[in-house]
Structure 1
Amino acid sequence: MTDLNALIDRLPKAELHLHLEGSLEPELMFEMARRNQVEIPFKTVDEVRAAYEFANLQEFLDIYYVGMNVLITEQDFFDLTWAYLERAHADTVRHVEVFFDPQGHTGRGVAFETVITGITRALAKAEAEWGLTSRLILCFLRHLSEEAAFETLEQAKPYLAQIEAVGLDSSELGHPPSKFERVFAAAAELGLKRVAHAGEEGPPEYVYEALDLLKIDRLDHGNRALEDEALVNRLAGEGMTFTVCPLSNLKLCGVPDLRQHPLKRMLELGLKVTVNSDDPSYFGGYVNENFKQTAVAVGLNEADIIALARNSFTGSFLPQAEIDRRLAEIDALVEAA
């Protein structure tokens, strides 16, 4: 019998749904608060962790934006990104496609250049030291206006060589993808790929909008698509990649119990799903922990685990030759086991 935990630990994988600001561990938050002389509403690391109990997405976001306030200098963004990359490397992650929220920083007076320079310096170091490749995804905050999104896209233009795609995150309910149809079209004209959070808390209609109006290349979360059989059939037929985040769904009460998570059913329906950690410092686990806990909870088998790892590369924005190289690594590891 295969030791699934050992298999998960060894398998090369990509992570396609990770918010850098959501990987800010309490210890680093306190360190940055001290060095930047920023007041935060917590006295100890334990007090921060105790606050990480959420009834819904909005309760999480309220604390998420408080934590973001400690990020000020280029070194802060480097340190944030590097801390995540060290954990990803330890989890045998070979490629990451990470989100960042520039509006959460520029709105506080932090320059766009400061944010992206710190992040990309860490990404370059990880590739140089470990061969860990990366792509950067600029997310628009959906609770802000379309006008604000256009302003951010304009700020990004000098850095387009370092940005692979645009995304859409933050408060989903009441902020449908259609609100950002025009700015996504403008991003497409600039040669950027498109992804969007849809169907996490929002209804299947939001997934249709993301597909038909934003013309997404990849679907972030997407769990509630299962409520619409025609939509499931369409997504399966199109081979759309889902970036599923099990521990996030549990922590934000999208599922009451991890045993009720739809990941196994999604695989059985022929959907191209991947496993990711979303905001791991807040949700209790990086990518391997998401694999391991979900495997036990929903009964994933060896074939499922391997399929999820393969999907993470085929669903990435890597060139085909690099995807093929990573798939060959997986095949070689499985054959040697």
Structure 2
Amino acid sequence: MGLLRDWHYIEKAVEIPALSEVIRESLIRALFVRDDRLLPKDLIADLNRLPPVTVKVKDDSEVRKLVRVLNGEESTVSLGLSAEDYHFFRTQLGVGRTREFGVVVRPRTLLTYDWIVPEQRGVQLDFTAYAEIEFSEEAHRAIAQVGATWKQLYDAAPAKGHRVPFVPTVPLDFAVGDGVYGDAPFGAYRGEFGAYVNALRTISPFGHRARVGFEEVANNGTAYDLLHATLPLAGEFFLPVALALRLEAKPTARKTLTYTFDDGAKLSVALDKLTRSSTSPDWVHVTDAVAARTLRPSVAAEAFTAQISMSGTGTGLPAKEKALDTAMAGFKAKSPDVPNP
């Protein structure tokens, strides 16, 4: 969607006939696979140019008012800015009744590049302060604002009797919203991140509140699943402000086991057995020696490490561990005391 939105920019970048074919192919490749090695330096500079104005928002009303101002429906005076901020806002954007402006959301943490065809002019929203989490008392659900970090959600859930079933597959400090407008790799052993998103609370391009999906139940069996069709690119269609998430019951017992392997073939066989067995862990995290040393500098790293988290009842956990040992046969060493990322 970003490529379609900025097609005019691509046309401008390749308007020199002698270079059009070479640069066009490189630019499109870079946009899709994020390979900037073949791009000219001036194009890289353009792609790294952020929107001129960043606005820190705290609630829906601020987002809605900003959208209406950018749509020309309200004056910039209604933003309630100081004289200095008002002057900066108008001069940076060149505000006018016939001007068009884009709005993008700044991810808290990016795994890859900080450009995915950014708006060449417009406003960037900072949702860092937009970080409330509301847990349901009736079922295992939560409404998390997009600025809340995954760690905040994960740490707060057990006190309310819940467990967060998805984890970042790369252990960085992602916000929940990074999963819908950034590139946060959330996932779980039993499903992808989208399987745990019931609905999105958003602000539409017209400044209206819009809800996509059903907050109380999963969007299963409906003829048109707009939620999961747009989830990876939600920021292209509307401004997500909160996610309705499906959680799981807090287990009575949990355990994380670490298996080390000195050979990749043995690890491959073990993981194949694990996926074919009836054992259903919460998550599995596999690292090579380089990544293991980065995550756990104080622990001696083997060629490969598989860390597996499981949960259940106090009496049923030993049986699960025994089944896990059988599935992971071929490991060099096993430890229950290695810190998990």
TM-score (ref. length: structure 1): 0.26
Q: Which has the higher contact order (CA 8 A, sep 6+)?
A: 1
User: Which one has a larger percent helix, Structure 1 or Structure 2?
Assistant: 1
TM-score (ref. length: structure 2): 0.26
User: Which one has a larger percent strand, Structure 1 or Structure 2?
Assistant: 2
